[in-house]
Amino acid sequence: MEAVIAVLRPKYFGSVSRDFDPKAYDLLLIDGNLPSSENAGANKQFPKTTISFELEPADALFTYLYNLTGAELGGLKGKRAVFVPPSRNEASSSSVKGTLYCVPVDNREKLNAHIVNKLPSAPGFYSLDLVLSAFNSDSSDEITESTQGLINRLVSWLQLKENVPGAIDLLFSVCAEERLKRSITNPAYFSSSQSALSSGAMGEVYSNSIANEALAKMVAIEKCDITIKNPIFESDMSYKNKVDKYAVNQYWGMGRPDYTKIKVQPCFETQANGNSIWTEEFPLHKCAYEGNARGTRDLIRTGYSVRKKDKDSWAPIHYAAWYGHLEVISVLLNDGGCSPNLTNNNGSTPLHIAARNGRVYVIELLLNHPEIDVSALDHMNHTALELCGNVDKPDWKAAARLLKNASTRPSPKIQVCLMDGTFRMLDLVSGANTTVQQLHQQMLQELKLPDSCSHIFSLWICSPSLQLQLKSDHKPIEHLNDWKRKIVVMYTDKDPSHEDPNLVWRRDAIISIAEDKEVRHPVAIRFLFHEAYYNCIESMYPCSDQDVMHLAAILMQLYQGDFDQRKAKNYLNSEHALTQLVPVAKLRNKSINWANKILEHYKTYTQKMVNRDKSPTGLHLHYLTVCWNLTVYGSAFFSGYVQVKPPNNFAPVHILVNDIGIHIISYDTKMMLQSISYTDIEWSYKTGNPMYPIFEIRLKGHSKGAMSIVSKQAGLINHLTGRLSQLSNEPFHSSVT
């Protein structure tokens, strides 16, 4: 029979971690570029040999491995030889040949470089993670196709052994012979090693003399009447039966262990038993490990973070999932607001951990959470279903059924508001782990927008007093959950209970006005129009009376069509109609008859538009053209305070930042207080008082007369100012103190 040997060596001393990590192992490969090689173009392959069915496989493999790696000059000594069966998912392939045996060796076993470099096979250890990464790279041809298949079989087998507590540790444990500390020999037994010390007749006389003397002592002590000698003792008869046929139990190591005797201790338990400082540093982890739900709830109420990770990168919910503490998990999710998708350094979520350990009720609890991501991948690209789907045990089978059913149910939806007052319901394709980029792509498809318009829009979270643009890798669900609890408090002085957040799809703040002017797609123009219209009506785009009447005339043409005096007068007599045409701050000026002024401009505008494009898209574009001439167009909005007379008095303001400059408008009247181009100013961000950071603006070359803006959003203003000032093709001057 052809036997293939996978020599596995751990890189570090001690027991292996509970999560299989290829980085922790080395694999022995030999030079496959030999005349007898199956693939003359490949460089590396597993060692292989032919063994007889009459021999013990382990003995034959150990002898071959010992001679292959230098024999008495430093040959490797295996601990044991374990058969590695093909995985159930492994496709039958003629390229994967031979019976695979895993031979673990001690991490202290080293190859003698002076010897192995001279051997034709050139054996050497290679890091398993690098070997796996070579499969999908340009270096894949350096390993034979057959060996690649066997390496995949080995990795799948090792991952399966993770589910059996203690199996990996037992694989690398010291052999029974090496654990022998003291040997007590029957004095009547004369070992072959003693006889080897003597030779010839003298040795035989010496042997008989010692044996007879020992036998006499035994008879005297035990007072035996009859002595029967083992007839095959020291004979040449073989004590090993010849093997005609053998079968390997494919379920070896997968049976239900006795958990009262075999227990895999996580890093926490080791540290908790050996170092009291650890338990003092992570009391919430300790409560989760012990299943102490009341203690967990009390610690959360005192301010302990449910997201804090220990030195093993595990959060409390990971320990609760590992040990199946349902009540603790419920407290962490409901009272602590812990994410059910929180990962450790291996990318494992609580669902991965529960699936690996067959925790059916934990999985059921997690699947009922609205933010759960059933399809989350760990760093080995495994879902939770893949970790339990191949384990033939009742609990693991039940867990797999739950996960399979959950993976087929429809994705939850999230509402994304549009600037025209409508909304779209988008799929949370990765549950709470769905990113802005994923939702952005869905929105482009929903609105049938081309990729050329994708950079014009982005996702924002908006509430009455705060608007923040999200990055492409942000997870909106996490930010929505943190909005009232953390974000509003961090960036405003407003009451969080009044700041209900909405996910809004609107213009990206980090683009220039020049990029807006290049847009020609009618859908993109429509949404840019609605956003500009909203900001004008809310008086966030300060403009002159003449601009107001011009914009109102375009809106009348859009709403009412060509000028009809009777129809237009009836429409403008409504107070509601004026609120749709004139900014709220302008309506406070009662000295202007807005209805008559708009009527005049509407009539003139219709006359000018004869034989011109009066389609909705054309009118939207005309409205935008007027807005593009406003210095504040495209601004992101922030809030803060500026100092006014008398000294130490502060007035609330809005700070508008776009690619032209920085603009300050009154919070109450919406009147423009200051508008400065980047070419004329320098700015600095002062963080001396973290509760009241200051964004300071001064004219270039002037050491006095600086305008200080006190705002919790000063850091955001400073960052965006730096980004947008670069779009204006002007050097910017910024400092942080």
Residue 432 pLDDT > 50: yes
Q: How do residues 284-298 score in pLDDT, each as one tens digit?
A: 999 999 999 999 999
Dihedrals phi, psi of 691, to nearest 5 degrees: -75, -25
> Domain total for the chain?
5
* pLDDT of amino acid 446: 93
Shared domain check, 555 and 506: no
- The pLDDT confidence band at residue 139, using thresholds 50, 70 and 90, is low
Residue 473 to residue 101: CA distance in whole angstroms: 44
Torsion of CA 86, 92, 95, 98, to 10 degrees: 40
Shared domain check, 166 and 45: yes
Please report whether residue 185 resides in a domain.
Answer: no
Q: Is 543 helix (H, G, I), strand (E, B) or coil?
A: coil
Shared domain check, 150 and 10: yes
Q: Which of 581, 609, 628 is the last residue of a domain?
A: 628
* pLDDT of amino acid 567: 92
Shared domain check, 660 and 613: no
Q: What is the mean pLDDT of residues 65-77?
A: 86
Please report whether residue 108 resides in a domain.
Answer: yes
Q: How do residues 227-277 score in pLDDT, each as one tens digit?
A: 676 766 655 555 556 666 667 665 566 666 555 544 444 554 555 454 566
Shared domain check, 15 and 144: yes
* pLDDT of amino acid 690: 65
CB neighbours of residue 665 within 10 Å: 24
The alpha-helical segments, DSSP class H, found in 162-282 are 167-171, 192-195, 200-222, 267-274, 276-281
Shared domain check, 20 and 90: yes
Shared domain check, 403 and 426: no
Residue 658 to residue 681: CA distance in whole angstroms: 14
* Cα torsion angle, 478, 482, 486, 489, sign: positive
* pLDDT of amino acid 606: 93
Q: Which amino acid is at 689?
A: N
Please report whether residue 51 resides in a domain.
Answer: yes
Shared domain check, 35 and 159: yes
- The pLDDT confidence band at residue 131, using thresholds 50, 70 and 90, is confident
Please report whether residue 596 resides in a domain.
Answer: yes
Q: How do residues 186-235 score in pLDDT, each as one tens digit?
A: 555 544 444 444 444 444 455 566 666 776 776 666 666 666 767 666 55
Residue with tokens 């057959």: 146
CATH of the domain at 456: 3.10.20.90
Percent of the chain surpassing pLDDT 90:
45
Q: At what angle do helices 326-334 and 293-301 cross, to 10 degrees?
A: 20
Domain that holds residue 668: 636-736
Closest listed residue to residue 278, CA positions, set 245, 319, 330, 324: 319
Please report whether residue 187 resides in a domain.
Answer: no
Q: Which of 361, 382, 408 is the last residue of a domain?
A: 408
Please report whether residue 470 resides in a domain.
Answer: yes
Average pLDDT score over the chain: 83
Q: Which of 584, 611, 628 is the last residue of a domain?
A: 628
Residue 735 pLDDT > 50: no
Residue 531 pLDDT > 90: yes
Shared domain check, 644 and 566: no
Residue 652 in contact with residue 641, Cβ under 8 Å?
yes
Shared domain check, 368 and 281: yes
- The pLDDT confidence band at residue 164, using thresholds 50, 70 and 90, is confident
Please report whether residue 529 resides in a domain.
Answer: no
CB neighbours of residue 314 within 10 Å: 25
Residue 338 in contact with residue 307, Cβ under 8 Å?
yes
DSSP 150-190: HHHHHHHHHHHHTTSTTHHHHHTSPPTTTT-------TT--
Shared domain check, 481 and 395: no
CATH of the domain at 157: 3.90.79.10
- The pLDDT confidence band at residue 656, using thresholds 50, 70 and 90, is very high
Residue 516 in contact with residue 528, Cβ under 8 Å?
yes
Straight-line distance from the first to the last Cα atom of the chain, in angstroms, rounded to the nearest whole number: 75
pTM over 0.75: no
Shared domain check, 694 and 570: no
Please report whether residue 243 resides in a domain.
Answer: no
CATH of the domain at 377: 1.25.40.20
